[in-house]
Amino acid sequence: MQEKRRIVVVTGLSGAGKSSALRAFEDISYHAIDNLPLTMLNDLLKEASEKAVDTPLAIGIDSRTLHFSPDLFLSEMRALRKQDTIDLHVLFMDASTDVLMKRFSETRRRHPLESGKPLRQAIKEERQLMSELRLALDGIIDTSNRSSTDTRRVVVERFSDKAEKSMVITTTSFGFSKGVPRDVDLIFDVRFLRNPHYVPELKKMTGQDEAVANYVRADEGFAEFVSKVQDMVEFLLPRYEVEGKSYLTIAFGCTGGKHRSVMMAETMARLITKEGRKTNIYHRDIDAI
């Protein structure tokens, strides 16, 4: 049986990190092509097939692309999924409007849909245009609170040949005061647990410090909560794998993203790892002031 060629189509909002993602794909030996016209996609794949080239491809396609339209994009993705020689993954790069505005301002780049209109309006119009693509998505990376280095790490974890072939699991922490992450699958609010922030000697520590962890564990509801979350995760994981899910992100949120959520993300990662599954950990707001 012929092995399928992995093709990742990288799309999303302008300024959301598509270029960083494509560079990361190059680092893990993908052949990366940016801004490929949709009408040339089939020709590219046909040529690669005729030359028996088996290098995985990462192809950037977005609103700048010649002949781009949501309908044409969705049509092309449906056609690719029908080909039994292709393993397709459509990845969407996203970020909040305020973050996108800041990036365009700092780099002094023009938004592709700007054309004399206010930047915020151009971003809004592109978000509406690209929202139709979500019908074809396999995954999202929200770069609102990620540096280019963080974005590269996520791409490598998810798509490197050295990565585990089983579902990639990530536990992450965040602070509700800084916004809810949009690229997670399960979110648990741990603000009901006792808060180390109000203990002077613990305030400047994080959930990675044992003193903070012990303080949170002492909450009367902690043990039962962990047990119930663990039961739910163990119930869901095999079902997600049967569905064909490639990666799962489990998020824990507290007020600031420094104490309780960090401790819970670390705790759940250890429990999942004990079950023989590799787990990544990402603390979004642990260093925020």
Rg (CA), the chain: 21
pLDDT digits (tens, 9 = 90+) for 174-185: 999 998 988 899
Provide the H-helix boundaries in the chain: 18-27, 41-50, 70-81, 97-107, 119-131, 148-159, 200-203, 210-217, 222-243, 260-274
CA-nearest of 33, 143, 48, 133 to 93 is 143
pLDDT digits (tens, 9 = 90+) for 219-231: 999 999 999 999 9
Which CATH code is given to the segment(s) 5-159? 3.40.50.300
Global pTM? 0.71
pLDDT value at position 289? 58
pLDDT value at position 1? 47
Sequence-separated (6 or more) residues with CB below 8 Å from residue 192: 221
pLDDT value at position 51? 61
pLDDT value at position 245? 78
pLDDT value at position 48? 67
Q: Which two tokens stand for residue 125?
A: 């119009």
Sequence-separated (6 or more) residues with CB below 8 Å from residue 222: 193, 216
Q: Is 143 helix (H, G, I), strand (E, B) or coil?
A: coil
pLDDT value at position 276? 83
What are the mean pLDDT values of the chain's consecutive 10-residue runs (289 residues total)? 80 93 92 88 76 79 87 92 89 93 88 86 93 88 88 87 69 93 92 96 95 96 96 92 82 96 96 88 85
Which residues pair with residue 139 across a beta bridge?
A: 91
pLDDT value at position 267? 97
Give the orientation angle of helix 119-131 with respect to helix 97-107, to 10 degrees. 130
Q: Where in the chain is the domain with CATH 3.40.50.300?
A: 5-159
